[in-house]
Amino acid sequence: MFTDLLYKLRHNESNWFDTFILVIIIFSAILVGVETDKLMMITFHDPLHIANIVIHYIFVTEILIKIYAFRDDVKHYFFDGWNIFDIFIVLLGFLPLFITQDEATYEAVLAARTLRIFRSLKSLRVLRLIGRFKQLRTIVETLLHSIPTLWQVFMLMGILYYSYAVIGVFLFSENDPQHFGSLSQAVLTLFQVMTGDGWSELMKANMYNCIHPHPFLSPLYFCSFVLVGALIILNLFVGIIISEMDETRRRHLQEEMGEKMIQDTDDALLLRLQEYKQSFDKEMNTIIEELKRRKA
């Protein structure tokens, strides 16, 4: 039974141990939520502390078992970024276990144990073992692989924000000091405009009934920013993510095909090669017959 479990862990196949860990992760996340209540934390400090210790060492045991499952090739275990994430969270999990039971340290306990909420993200790794949630892993990997390209869009957005913020301060600082009184306030206001939250009211407020009305510049300023920032930049984000998602799906398909070829026996591979040869011979015979017919 244990040998079969190790085999499934090595090959990322669904098994009872991963299901058990998923249940513990969910319970741990609920426990962290309970600990946000100061009264519950003070009243049930000892049971909660013991439960945290037990849960933490279950996670430690899980990592040790999985490392043992890859004992023949331990490097393969550490090549998976999710495994590195697990180890990092488990190491952080040691922090709240050594804090005293003094009521005065409640804030410290809460702050340290909040780190363990990130353990719930491990459910993403477990869900990849379930076929119907395979797209979830594709989405997560797509976002991670999109970061290098998205940085270029962030740089473009930073230049856009800075330029428009400077212009906004010069134009509207006296009319609307609450939103354009300083460069930082202008940047925050532009972020609000980019989300579509009340930008038309800001535009109209600087067109009429103000110290320096701008009936032409105000619409030009706000409409151009909404057009460039909210529409063009947003579409750049969407386009990059969709392109990367297609690439991620193609990469997953190649990996699955490669694993399938590796798992096939020699006899199965030989049979597939024979089928390919027969199909190729049949196509070539058809082409030769057609050429002979045309010459005749």
Residue 135 falls within a domain, yes or no? no
Least confident of 30-34, 61-65, 108-112, 239-243: 108-112
* Cβ proximity of 185 and 165 under 8 Å: no
Residue 228 falls within a domain, yes or no? yes
Q: What is the mean pLDDT of the chain?
A: 76
* Cβ proximity of 199 and 260 under 8 Å: no
pTM beyond 0.75: no
Structural element, H or E, at residue 149: helix 134-172
The pLDDT assigned to 131 comes to: 42
Q: What is the DSSP letter of 80?
A: S
Number of domains in the chain: 3
Please determine, for residue 124, whether its predicted confidence score (pLDDT) is greater than 80. no
Q: Could you tell me the pLDDT band of residue 103, with boundaries at 50, 70 and 90?
A: very low
Q: Which residue has the higher pLDDT, 151 or 109?
A: 151
Shared-domain flag, residues 122 and 16: yes
Least confident of 16-30, 139-153, 205-219: 139-153
Residue 136 falls within a domain, yes or no? no
Minimal CA–CA distance to 21: which of 51, 47, 57, 49?
Answer: 57
Among candidate residues 129, 151, 179, the one where a domain is terminated? 129
